[in-house]
């Protein structure tokens, strides 16, 4: 089965508290504050819409947020309050320079090949107008390199058992793993994943080569600098003119 589908949705929802969501929404609100005009901002890989629903109803992006998600189940369970379309990051269904900005959270960009990552960034650059903003969050490469092996087992509130093992290969930048979710009635969802993480210098080169200029780099939601202890890598970039 596909990792990004019911397995991913059911296994991540219990960990996405309203408090965590509120902090992330507050960060995104600050990141997009002062964005000129009324053109939309797209939540790429919006899932069930925990960010988009709040951002579209209050704050500086109210009325401007659109969700894009490939997984039909996530879209069917999305929160009310924002429009969404089903689509692929590799072929964005938006006209050239029609967006004021875009954002992607929780390593949405990590699930592709190197060539696909370049293509996706070019797609975002095509759709975002010059001067528009592009914000994404991922896991710092250095954090994974420092602790390359991970294992996890936890019983979720509904009685399901979540198990995962992974190994990060610093030479390839790939985090390879397998996740299993066993429901109380015995149904089991299991899938492998391969996620690509880049050092910051490589991210900067990718962005510069696809039409963006890096404006800020943060290591957390308070806007703190990226360092060896950071749990997040959050990059803000601007679509260059020309």
Taking only the tens of pLDDT, the chain with its 242 residues reads: 588 889 999 999 999 999 999 999 999 999 999 998 899 999 999 999 999 999 999 999 999 999 999 999 999 999 999 999 999 999 999 999 999 999 999 878 899 999 999 999 999 999 999 999 999 999 999 999 999 999 999 999 999 999 999 999 999 999 999 999 999 999 999 999 999 999 999 999 999 999 999 999 999 999 999 998 999 999 999 999 97
Q: Which of 157, 140, 144 is nearest to 13 (CA)?
A: 157
CA distances from 178 to 51, 167, 170 (A): 27, 10, 18
Determine the 3-state secondary structure of 160 from DSSP.
coil
Asked, for residue 1, whether it belongs to a domain, the answer is no
My answer on whether 62 and 153 are in the same domain is no
- Strand pairing of 128-138 and 99-104? parallel
Domain that holds residue 222: 6-140+198-239
The Cβ of residue 72 has, within 10 Å, a number of other Cβ atoms equal to 11
The number of domains in the chain is 2
CA distances from 67 to 1, 25, 86, 103 (A): 24, 14, 8, 10
My answer on whether 190 and 207 are in the same domain is no
Residue at which a domain ends, from 180, 196, 212: 196
């Amino acid at each position: 089965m596909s990792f990004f589908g019911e397995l991913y949705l059911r296994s991540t929802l219990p960990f996405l508290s309203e408090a965590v969501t509120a902090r992330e929404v507050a960060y995104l609100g600050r990141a997009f504050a002062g964005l000129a005009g009324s053109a939309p901002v797209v939540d790429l890989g919006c899932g069930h819409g925990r960010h988009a629903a709040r951002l579209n109803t209050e704050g500086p992006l109210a009325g401007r947020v659109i969700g894009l998600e490939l997984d039909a189940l996530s879209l069917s369970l999305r929160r009310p309050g924002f429009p969404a379309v089903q689509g692929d990051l590799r072929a964005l269904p938006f006209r050239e320079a029609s967006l004021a900005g875009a954002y992607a959270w929780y390593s949405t960009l990590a699930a592709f090949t190197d060539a696909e990552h370049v293509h996706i960034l070019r797609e975002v650059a095509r759709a975002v107008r010059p001067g528009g903003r592009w914000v994404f969050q991922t896991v710092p490469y250095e954090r994974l390199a420092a602790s390359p092996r991970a294992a996890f087992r936890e019983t979720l509130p509904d009685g399901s058992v979540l198990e995962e093992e992974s190994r990060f290969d610093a030479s390839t930048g790939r985090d390879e793993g397998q996740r299993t979710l066993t429901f109380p009635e015995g149904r089991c969802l299991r899938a492998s994943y391969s996620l690509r993480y880049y050092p910051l210098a490589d991210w900067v080169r990718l962005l510069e080569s696809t039409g963006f200029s890096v404006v800020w780099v943060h290591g957390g939601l308070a806007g703190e600098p990226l360092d060896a202890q950071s749990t997040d890598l959050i990059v803000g970039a601007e679509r260059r003119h020309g």
